[in-house]
Amino acid sequence: MAYNSADIAAFKNVWVFCEQRQGVMMPTTFELISEGRKLANELGAELCGILLGEGVEGIAKELGEYGADKVYVYDSPLLKYYTTDAYTKLVCDAVEEFKPEVMLFGASNIGRDLAPRCAARLHTGLCADCTHLDIDLNGYIEFLKTGSSLDVASMSFDSKLFDVNSNLKMTRPAFGGHLMATIVCPRFRPAMATVRPGVMQKRPCKKDVEIIKPAFELKESDIKTHVVEVVKASKKLVDLIGADVIVSVGAGIGKNVQKGLELAQELADVLGGVVGASRAAVDAGYITADHQVGQTGKTVHPKIYVALGISGAIQHKAGMQDSECIIAVNKNDAAPIFEVADYGIVGDLFKVVPEMIESFKAAKAK
Ligand SMILES: Cc1cc2nc3c(=O)[nH]c(=O)nc-3n(C[C@H](O)[C@H](O)[C@H](O)COP(=O)(O)OP(=O)(O)OC[C@H]3O[C@@H](n4cnc5c(N)ncnc54)[C@H](O)[C@@H]3O)c2cc1C
């Protein structure tokens, strides 16, 4: 029978597109597998990865460490490098053959290219840049109670849209981050979502993963682009997502940018961390965009996040408020950053930070 994305009952299981580069699994893949495990448990379904590449079967087992039940491996020299044509064809062919109910992609450059093409070709919906996912209605209500200011007790939920065991509830920032919107795809399958790297947490959950190698057709003539060479950027980018400590600077360093950056770097060095930034600091040219934390930057969960001269706009908080311990330094005692800070210091950062550096050095020397 012809593939029909509106035949909802024919679709089953949760799938994750498992991104790898040069045979190395991208960290986002493990984050999505962990989140996919949660959704599969809520659906009472299997969690499957789909992995494309050349010589990648060996890394498929790694997905079992985070809860994958099965991995569908598509191995071919024609998949050595990512090409839109080949990957779109094989992901769509696999969806038509195996009919997953939910499909997750990382919102990486590859995921942002691939997911919307697949959604359009498969005639289904895609919600980009999700920050929270639920199947179970009670879990979603719990999320609303803890993560929003809505009067949840007085709300009613349309049973067609919020069916406990059916629709994926995909929550993402909307209207410039000023509100959160929950989106469902009630009439078509798979429900597709992209999630930015670092947003979901990796949760180890060991499973005996089954590797499946489906037969597939891919010809050179299916691929319109030809990768001649891959040139890696020589610039060393800051690893905000993997850092345990981040010291971020904001527009508040403006009166002496060089000194402000030096202080942030010194504090980061003492604490064994890296330097992040607000968008205002990036837009002002104080620091490069790879340092940006927030809705349009990176989402981070370090053990310690230090905000220096950052007001705490909603778009900045969206990227750092899940940090384990937040320390804020701001000369304005009404700055919103203090609402999420565990420790708040009201004062001029150019006076406060040298004292912090000395105190941490003295404490480490003990
Ligand atoms: C669609 C959209 C996406 C966005 N994405 C992001 C994002 O990803 N990340 C992000 O950060 N922003 C983002 N923004 C911008 C965001 O709204 C704020 O404009 C930005 O976060 C402000 O940066 P800031 O706190 O450094 O600057 P400001 O808001 O100007 O705050 C500077 C702070 O420094 C304090 N200060 C000044 N001097 C000192 C001093 N000497 N000592 C101590 N404190 C001092 C001030 O009291 C003030 O609180 C986005 C906006 C939009 C509309």
State yes or no: pLDDT of 256 exceeds 90.
yes
pLDDT at 231: 84
pLDDT at 165: 56
180, 287, 296, 315: residue to mutate for ligand 1 pocket, most atoms within 8 A of CB: 315
State yes or no: pLDDT of 162 exceeds 90.
no
* Higher-pLDDT residue of 156, 36: 36
The packing angle between helices 109-121 and 84-98, to 10°, is 50
199: its two tokens: 């947003």
Mean pLDDT score, 125-132:
94
State yes or no: pLDDT of 297 exceeds 80.
yes
pLDDT at 156: 86
Of 94-98, 105-109, 155-159, the range with the lowest mean pLDDT is 155-159
Mean per-residue pLDDT of the chain: 93
Beta-carbon contacts of residue 164 (< 8 Å; ≥ 6 apart): 135, 136, 137, 138
Find the length of the chain: 366
pLDDT at 316: 95
- Alpha carbon distance 279, 215 (integer Å): 47
The string of DSSP codes covering 134-177 is: ESSHHHHHHHHHHH----GGG----TTTS-TTS--EEEEEEGGG
Mean pLDDT score, 204-210:
94
pLDDT at 257: 97
pLDDT at 49: 98
Q: Is 99 in the pocket of ligand 1 (CB under 6 A)?
A: no
pLDDT at 166: 79
Which pLDDT band holds residue 241 (cuts at 50, 70, 90)?
Answer: confident
Which pLDDT band holds residue 163 (cuts at 50, 70, 90)?
Answer: low
* Higher-pLDDT residue of 161, 293: 293
The closest residue, in CA terms, to atom 27 on ligand 1 is 251
pLDDT at 1: 65
**AA identity, residue 110:** I
Mean pLDDT score, 265-293:
95
Of 84-93, 141-150, 257-266, the range with the lowest mean pLDDT is 141-150
Ligand 1 centroid to residue 313 C-alpha, Å: 6
Which pLDDT band holds residue 239 (cuts at 50, 70, 90)?
Answer: confident
Mean pLDDT score, 123-148:
91
Burial label, 54 (beta-carbon count in 10 A; 0-12, 13-18, 19+): middle
pLDDT at 60: 97
Q: Are 101 and 49 in contact (CB under 8 A)?
A: no
323: its two tokens: 């940090």
Percent over 70 (pLDDT), the chain: 98
State yes or no: pLDDT of 201 exceeds 70.
yes
Helix (H) or strand (E) holding 72, with range, is strand 70-75
The packing angle between helices 257-271 and 349-365, to 10°, is 20
Ligand 1 centroid to residue 275 C-alpha, Å: 16
State yes or no: pLDDT of 87 exceeds 80.
yes
- Alpha carbon distance 220, 241 (integer Å): 37
Helix (H) or strand (E) holding 91, with range, is helix 84-98
Ligand 1 centroid to residue 278 C-alpha, Å: 6
Ligand 1 atom closest to Cα of 278? 11
CA distances in angstroms from 108 to 21, 120, 298, 335, 364, listed in the order given = 12, 18, 11, 33, 38
Tell me whether strands 210-212 and 245-249 are parallel, antiparallel or unpaired. unpaired
293, 330, 348, 349: residue to mutate for ligand 1 pocket, most atoms within 8 A of CB: 330
Which pLDDT band holds residue 99 (cuts at 50, 70, 90)?
Answer: very high
pLDDT at 12: 96
Ligand 1 centroid to residue 213 C-alpha, Å: 49
* Higher-pLDDT residue of 72, 131: 72
| pLDDT 10s digits, 323-365 | 999 999 999 999 999 999 999 999 999 999 999 999 999 998 8
Of the candidates 354, 247, 265, the one whose C-alpha atom is nearest the C-alpha of residue 308 is 247
DSSP state of 334: T
Could you tell me which residues are beta bridge partners of residue 174?
179
